[in-house]
Structure 1
Amino acid sequence: MSPRRLCLPALLVLLAGAAPAQTQSPPAAPDGAAARGQYVFQAAGCLGCHTNEKGGGAPLAGGRALATPFGTFYTPNITPDPTHGIGRWSEEAFVRAFRHGEGPDGTSLFPAFPYPSYTRMSDGDLRDLRAYLMTQPAVAAPNKPHDLSAPFGWRFLLPLWQALYLTPGPLADDASRPPVWNRGRYLSEALGHCQECHTPRGWMGGLDTARAYAGNPAGPEGDKVPNITPSKKGIGGWSESDIVLFLEMGMMPDGDFAGGAMAEVIRNSTARLTADDRRAIAVYLKSLPPLD
């Protein structure tokens, strides 16, 4: 078993009240909101999806093509450019996009942007993320329209999809679990949005939560995404230390190394987490029910 894609970047999915708990905050940073937001940015894997690296695009200027069974999505510009990016988005509009899947004009967003997971982020993390993005260079790169098959490109149907598959609101801690487990769940289910790739989907693109983390035979860009539950078909033979090392360096227990999209995720995201946060993810994954 060679799981190479433990958590994919933000937009590689098929469709594109409570106070935040202490364990849901990124490590404290002396430079304020933008510095904290940089850590959130890295944990959420924003760089890889919103940069057309192969096409020579500027960082966060969008344009990365994401082929899916529903058509091709093109990731948007999230630089502070006022015309093509998010420069005119208020803090309220920014939070609403993540929490409710709505653009500044009230239109529903395609869940290729994995807001069903990002909705679980704390208000503080969302505000800090926006603060960091607003410090980045503005790039006047226009967004490219998606090329989607009917009826999946019909935006007016999205509120129905959201009613079925979106439960807005931050993720609350489980008081019966230790802080390290709650932190790991937050990193996996909200920031890292691992279920978006590692959980199979129904025909409408909604997650089959009864099979959470059990792998997806029809993953993004046609790739099979592996089972990461602690079963024999998943990572049952991996120790917590094995998972931590993989998230830091990409090395698996058999000595092989991650490649492809997972190598990108490790480089841009999990390798940049603190050692404590990588361990928290390992603790959480090892606690999942084993599914074959």
Structure 2
Amino acid sequence: MASIWVKLCVAGVAVVAAGAAVAYAVTMPDPHQAGYWADLGTPDLAHGERLFWAGGCASCHAAKGAGGDAAKLLSGGRALPTAFGTFNVPNISSDPEAGIGGWTLAQFGDAMTRGVGPNGEHLYPSFPYGSYSRMTAGDINDLFGYLKSLPASPDVAPPHALSFPFNMRMAVGGWKLLYLNDQPRIALPADASDAVKRGQYLVEGPGHCGECHTPRNALGGFQSGQWLAGGPNPEGEGRIPDITPGSQSIGSWSEADIVNYLETGFTPDFDSVGGSMVEVQRNLAHLPKSDLEAIAAYLKAVPSL
């Protein structure tokens, strides 16, 4: 009888070990194949700057309220309080030790599109790689080249302040399994204009608008069918508005109204941009008008809720 129990225990341990091995295999960091980042050529720094503003890099990685050249000193250090703990934004300046100056394009690209750190670790999705995953390899190359041209800073951000179980990076692999992909957030009609398609890329990819404007579930993933429908501020202060065509915030605005708002910060009623959108608008105002028109066209094309 004792031998049967021993066999059952051994079998149970084997099953648990096998299950753990499978779970690890499907949730382990998953960088691109090395060849994905090869032969991209010399980065276009002017286009990289355009992506820098579209992605709002300065909004998190520069000092709060920084403008002009100060917005390009990406020393990090800002604290982002969330329901999961406080994330401290890292230095992404060109410093080879404190920043990303010593990274390869593959390390930067895998961080941006797969949430994999330079040492092969999972990165927390407070860094919006869930959106950046839609960026092309060429755009990543241009952005990386531009970031390396910016000033270096030796500052080192403090570690994240997260409680158990959110301090376990391996658990991020499960989150990625559920929520990380590079597919479009919405399906556009077959006859969608080039402007709408460009707007989709900007809004769903580098612009990462949904990271604030889409409500989240208890695990921090976007709620299905609620794309850009607004919700609680992920940093815990107030609410982020619904920006779908049927919303009370911008639903009545024309495409020209949206473009003017992104250019100038003024609404059709001559109210001014406020809250966290101040820095976003300030960044987007650097984009060419054609990009702002594309964003507006896309926002008018998303499903009303």
Q: Which residue of 1 aligns with 2:36?
A: none
Task: State the distance in 2 between where 1:103 and 1:174 align.
Answer: 36
* Percent identical residues: 46
2:120 match: secondary structure: coil
For 1:240-259, list aligned pairs within 5 A: 240-259=255-274
How many pairs were matched up? 261
Match of 1:81 in 2: 95
What TM-score does the superposition give when structure 1 sets the normalisation length? 0.83
Distance in structure 2 (CA, Å) of the matches to 1:170 and 1:136: 31
Q: Distance in 2 between matches of 1:173 and 1:124?
A: 23
> Looking at CA atoms only, which structure, 1 or 2, has the larger radius of gyration?
2
Residue matched to 2:145: 131
Q: Matched residues in 2 for 1:232 and 1:181: separation? A: 19
The question of whether the paired residues in 2 share the 8 Å contact of 1:181 and 1:280 is answered with yes
SS at match of 1:73: strand
Residues 56-101 of structure 1 deviation map (CA, whole Å, 9 limit, x = unaligned): 9982000011111111111100011111111111011111111211
- Which residue does 1:50 correspond to in 2? 61
Aligned counterparts of 1:290 and 1:175: Cα–Cα separation in 2 = 18
Aligned counterpart, 2:250: 235
Unaligned ranges ≥5, structure 1:
1-16, 18-30
Q: Is the 8 A contact 1:99 1:169 kept in 2?
A: no
State the SS of the aligned residue for 2:64. Answer: coil
- Calculate the aligned-residue CA RMSD, in Å: 2.3
Asked whether the equivalents of residues 217 and 225 of structure 1 are also in contact (C-alpha less than 8 Å), the reply is yes
The aligned counterpart of 2:284 is: 270
Long gaps (5+) in structure 2: 1-31, 33-41
Q: Contact between 1:85 and 1:140, CA under 8 Å: does it hold in 2?
A: yes
Whether contact under 8 Å (1:121, 1:170) holds in the other structure is: no
1:98-157 CA distance string (max 9 Å, x none)? 121101111000000000100000111100000001111111111210112322222121
One-letter code aligned to 1:86: I
Partner residue, 2:109: 95
Distance 1:99 1:67 in 2: 23
Further displaced range: 93-102 or 149-158: 149-158
CA contact (8 A) 1:57 1:63 kept: no
| C-alpha distance in 2 between matches for 1:74 and 1:160 | 22
Q: Report the TM-score when normalising by structure 2.
A: 0.80
Check whether the contact 2:73–2:150 (CA below 8 A) recurs between aligned residues. Answer: no
Deviation at 1:289, TM superposition (A): 1.3
Counterparts in 2 of 1:58 and 1:128: CA distance versus 1, 3 Å: closer
| Aligned residue in 2 for 1:21 | none
In 1, Cα distance between equivalents of 2:104 and 2:261:
38
